[in-house]
A and B are shown apart, each in its own frame.
Chain A
Amino acid sequence: MTEIVFSGVHHRYGQRSVLAGIDLRLTERRVGIVGANGSGKSTLARMINGLISPTEGTVTVDGLDVARNGREVRRRVGFLFTDPDSQIVMPTVAEDVAFSLRKSGLAQSEIDTRVAEALQRFDLRDHADHPTHLLSGGQKQLLALAAVLIRRPAILVADEPTTLLDLRNARMVADLLNGLEEQVILVTHHLELLEKFDRVLVLDQGQVVADGSPARAAAGYRALLG
């Protein structure tokens, strides 16, 4: 299992402190992060992928400092964004999934095989040649997930991937995330998505204020919201 370590992490946007003194070691297969808007959870999630470097402290993934080894870290850590539209690059579904392997150095036949498998896995095979902008919100998020996982990362960080989806699509994406073999770090507002998780963190004003089982974290989060 992979190991994500936050050591004395602080982060500021200008004068505003977003994360203040985070020390964590995440080795669990399923980790949830909850917190109110502006609590720092998205910043924390982005640090695992090296999209944001801490202004103080270090974040490591399997011993690799994300600030110094961003490219290597991003090969191990996939990132799923809230809005799939920002993640989709190519005009058709199959082309977008294949785009993730464009710089992989794999033979075209291997890329084609992996794309076909990914489309099958995420129930997108019938949409392979469809324009991406005509997909439903749920299908777009599935496409974004397929495009991330085709690179075979060890860790998937998902930043509120169900926020823009209706209940049915949110449940579908959540079920898929639950069934993945990869280590999953899920940022969400929906506590019910974390019921089967191994560990849940509650963030408030840039600090971890509760850390433990989903039930314990849920109680902490509800107490926080009053």
Chain B
Amino acid sequence: MSVIAAYRPGTSALHRMPAGPKLLGMFVLLLGVAFLSRPWQLGMLAILVGLGFLVARIPAGPLWAQVRPLRFMLVVIAVAQWLLAGWQTALLVCGGLLVALCISALFTLTTRVTALLDVCQRGLQPLRRVGLDPDRVGLLLSMTIRCVPLLESIVGEVLDARKARGLGFSAIALAVPVVVRALRAADAMGEALIARGFDE
């Protein structure tokens, strides 16, 4: 599953909570992570986040899908910190990163993308005065999110085509067809957006 399209439907208090306050809460907790100085503080925060997952009834699988891409980086940082600054620092740095990742995952897993975009668009309204169109920014964000799996599939197909032809790896031979197909996809999406009435 793509990390971005990770929303897990549910009816828990966290799912029902408006995206604005939830986003604010996430930022406060992430700020808290930055100021951790004792292992017991990290433990308390981890318990709090764990309770959040219990309340939202999110099983381990979707959480692991969010954490997995960074697992090797966490291990490398942990080992480096342990060797350079001791186990307590390693625990605080890596534990903090892991807890921050879980906080972000909890937000992503319980919040629809549209709800988040609505918050962004509302938050950007004051910038209309300086010529920024919040609707366009919202559309840009949703298109960006949508394009991640689309690009993943384009890259996958190009790599498969190379394998099928028995060719070895070449950065140029990968980049050229990916860029060409991505540009074609962008053209087609632009045309489809106009057809769906988003030239207004």
Contacts and interface: CB of A to CB of B under 8 A. Distances in A.
Q: Do A and B come from one complex?
A: yes
Interface of A: 49, 51, 70-71, 74-75, 78-79, 81, 83, 85-92, 95, 98-100, 103, 128-129, 131-134, 147-148, 151
Contacts of B5: 91-92, 131-133
Contact of A151 (B143, B145, B149, B197): B197
A186 to B, nearest CB: 16
A78 B2 CA distance: 30
Among the interface residues A85, A100, A134, which one has the most CB atoms of the partner chain B within 10 A? A85
Interface residues of B, number: 31
Contacts of B188: 81, 83, 86
Nearest to B114: A95
Given A95-B112, A103-B200, A147-B196, 18 more contacts: A71-B197, A71-B200, A74-B195, A79-B192, A81-B191, A81-B195, A87-B189, A88-B146, A89-B139, A89-B146, A89-B189, A91-B4, A91-B7, A95-B114, A99-B142, A129-B7, A133-B150, A134-B1
B25 interface: no
Contacts of A92: 5, 7, 112-113
Contact of A49 (B9, B193, B195): B195
Contacts of A103: 135, 197-198, 200
A38 B70 CA distance: 48
Contacts of A151: 196-197
Contact of A89 (B1, B143, B185, B200): B143
